[in-house]
């Protein structure tokens, strides 16, 4: 099969002419044209190889032969909608359920993360009879209107007046840069109390809470790892108010965090959300997604009397692909690989932090890792331009990484789970050279990498106990830093 129809310049020109201008490309000054990919490597039109550190959709590796084969085989036989009985649908639901706590037993299939989250909101509204949603600052939950409303990552770009009166924003439980930091006596309770406060204020205005929604680990919001116990406390407040807890696992589910299959499980066995949404990795690139909930919530949704039908969702091809993805995760022990390689990579990055003052914090679980760049470790001044420089220079060296978070200063690792130690060595070696250059230009003293905190060890204990990665930072610093709004989500 031909890998290229048009020259790269023609592709760029046609894209400008026919594709909506709000659809952005990576590296807009010099976009990449990828024509094929395998495992954790992508290839441009000249056959040059890129190491992929960002494509969490290609969860079990790009173009995995077993996943491709499963789709082709089922497509040759039958593809139709879920109004016909088909074993793939029920078998997939059964397999998915086996990875979840028992109560989460009812599935609704959808086609994208956004559809899954939109449906989760409908379930919550119908089940509770309430209207208001609590979301986290910097959250992104999808591109539908209902989700832009609950995605500060997006609606902050539109100005305050655009925020719906039924949406409340709680501070992101970020103990490095957030309102309560690692030097706070109890950031878990402090962040959960903010939610309680929001509920009380909403009640005072006659509003009622339908749901709290959060990614189990915030991704676009800056690779934030909530302190253990935070979700339990929030769930307590929200359920007391008659609302439900929605865990968005669209980015972080399916074994990425290494120690667990689902990232919400990092909070401990005593935490079970009422609704879980899944997307991206579920089909390894095939458009499918899912909402899983309890029987009680599903019965509540049913009571509206309205049928739920979705033309493409849960079709036999999608389910065959979903089953193949689960098989590959298991057969190739990709969750175990995420844990082992994730720890190895986190260690390398921790060592990088010891040598480079630009690195303010390294945090992660499995193969979901953030490296926060700062110009000053004490003030935690975001090194936004430097982070952009790092990703552009890496791209020139054919390593694909992205920078995100409210200040776009956090390097994000979320590679396919087949990522290897050698890949980790290569990426970190290249980052190190770039940091050395940048520090020279900035006049940063590379021998001064003192970590301005001893609370670091406290955090390490808390996260290591739970088996997940390291999170290391500094003391409270300057939070009044200009926000950059221009972001490109990756």
Answer for which of 59, 64, 141, 343 binds ligand PLP (CB under 6 A) is: 141
Q: Are 126 and 132 in contact (CB under 8 A)?
A: no
Beta pairing class for 49-52 and 399-400: parallel
Residue 366 in the binding site for ligand PLP (CB under 6 A): no
Instruction: Give the C-alpha separation, 51 to 53, whole Å.
Output: 6
Answer for which of 61, 142, 342, 477 binds ligand PLP (CB under 6 A) is: 142
Closest to ligand PLP by CB, 459 vs 487, is 487
Closest to ligand PLP by CB, 357 vs 370, is 370
Closest to ligand PLP by CB, 139 vs 391, is 139
Handedness of CA 374, 376, 380, 383 (dihedral sign): negative
Closest to ligand PLP by CB, 241 vs 365, is 365
Site for ligand PLP in 207-226 (CB under 6 A): 215, 219-220
CB of 40 to ligand PLP, least distance (A): 20
Closest to ligand PLP by CB, 55 vs 117, is 117
Closest to ligand PLP by CB, 412 vs 459, is 412
Instruction: Give the C-alpha separation, 365 to 367, whole Å.
Output: 6
Beta pairing class for 368-376 and 359-365: antiparallel
Answer for which of 50, 109, 140, 368 binds ligand PLP (CB under 6 A) is: 140
Q: Which residue is nearest to ligand PLP (CB)?
A: 113
Which DSSP symbol is given to 363?
E
- Beta-bridged to residue 93, according to DSSP, are none
Closest CA to 366 of 333, 394, 404, 392: 333
Instruction: Lay out the site mask for ligand PLP across 232-251 (x = CB under 6 A, - = otherwise).
Output: ----------------x-xx
Answer for which of 88, 114, 138, 384 binds ligand PLP (CB under 6 A) is: 114
Q: Between vectors from CA 113 to CA 210 and to CA 251, what angle results, nearest 5°?
A: 100
149 three-class SS: coil
Q: Are 319 and 287 in contact (CB under 8 A)?
A: no
Instruction: Lay out the site mask for ligand PLP across 77-96 (x = CB under 6 A, - = otherwise).
Output: --------------------
Handedness of CA 223, 466, 101, 92 (dihedral sign): positive
CB of 279 to ligand PLP, least distance (A): 5
Residue 57 in the binding site for ligand PLP (CB under 6 A): no
CB of 251 to ligand PLP, least distance (A): 5
The CA-based dihedral angle spanning residues 157, 219, 54, 457, taken in that order and rounded to the nearest 10 degrees: 130
Cα-flanking dihedrals φ and ψ of residue 209, to 5°?
Answer: -90, 125
Give contact residues for ligand PLP (rule: CB under 6 A): 112-114, 117, 140-143, 215, 219-220, 248, 250-251, 279
């Amino acid at each position: 099969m031909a890998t290229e129809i048009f020259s790269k310049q023609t592709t760029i020109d046609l894209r400008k002419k026919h594709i909506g201008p709000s659809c952005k490309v990576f590296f807009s000054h010099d976009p990449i044209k990828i024509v094929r990919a395998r495992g954790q490597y992508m290839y441009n039109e000249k056959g040059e190889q890129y190491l992929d550190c960002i494509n969490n959709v290609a969860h079990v590796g790009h173009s995995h032969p077993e996943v491709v084969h499963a789709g082709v085989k089922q497509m040759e036989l039958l593809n139709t909608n879920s109004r016909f009985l088909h074993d793939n649908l029920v078998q997939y639901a059964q397999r998915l359920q086996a990875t979840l706590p028992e109560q989460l037993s009812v599935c609704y299939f959808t086609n994208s993360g956004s559809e899954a989250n939109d449906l989760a909101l409908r379930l919550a509204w119908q089940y509770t009879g309430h209207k208001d949603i609590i979301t986290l600052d910097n959250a992104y939950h999808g591109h539908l209107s209902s989700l832009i409303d609950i995605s500060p990552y997006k609606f902050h770009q539109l100005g305050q007046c655009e925020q719906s009166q039924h949406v409340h924003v709680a501070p992101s439980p970020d103990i490095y840069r957030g309102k309560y930091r690692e030097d706070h006596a109890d950031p878990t309770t402090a962040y959960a109390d903010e939610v309680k406060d929001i509920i009380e204020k909403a009640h005072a205005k006659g509003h009622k809470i339908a749901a709290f929604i959060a990614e189990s680990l915030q991704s676009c919001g800056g690779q934030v790892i909530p302190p253990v116990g935070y979700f339990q406390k929030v769930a307590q407040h929200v359920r007391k108010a008659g609302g439900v807890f929605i865990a968005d696992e669209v980015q972080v589910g399916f074994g990425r965090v290494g120690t667990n299959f689902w990232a919400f499980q990092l909070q401990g066995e005593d935490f079970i959300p009422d609704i879980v949404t899944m997307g991206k990795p579920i089909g390894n690139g095939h458009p499918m997604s899912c909402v899983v909930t309890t029987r009680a919530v599903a019965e509540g949704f049913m009571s509206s009397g309205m049928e739920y039908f979705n033309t493409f969702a849960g079709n036999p091809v999608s389910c065959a692909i979903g089953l193949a993805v689960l098989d590959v995760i298991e057969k190739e022990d990709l969750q175990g690989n995420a844990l082992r390689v994730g720890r190895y990579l986190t260690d390398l990055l921790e060592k990088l932090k010891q040598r480079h003052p630009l690195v303010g914090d390294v945090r992660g679980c499995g193969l979901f890792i953030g490296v926060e760049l700062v110009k000053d470790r004490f003030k935690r001044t975001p090194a936004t331009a430097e982070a952009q420089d790092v990703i552009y220079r890496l791209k020139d060296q054919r390593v694909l990484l992205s920078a995100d978070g409210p200040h776009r200063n956090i390097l994000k690792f979320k590679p396919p789970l087949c990522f290897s130690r050698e890949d980790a060595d290569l990426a970190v070696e290249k980052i190190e050279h770039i940091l050395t250059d940048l520090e020279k230009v900035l006049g940063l003293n590379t021998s001064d990498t003192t970590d301005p905190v001893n609370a670091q060890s406290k955090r390490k204990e808390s996260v290591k106990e739970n088996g997940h990665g390291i999170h290391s930072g500094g003391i409270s610093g300057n939070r009044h830093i200009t926000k950059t709004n221009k972001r490109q989500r990756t």
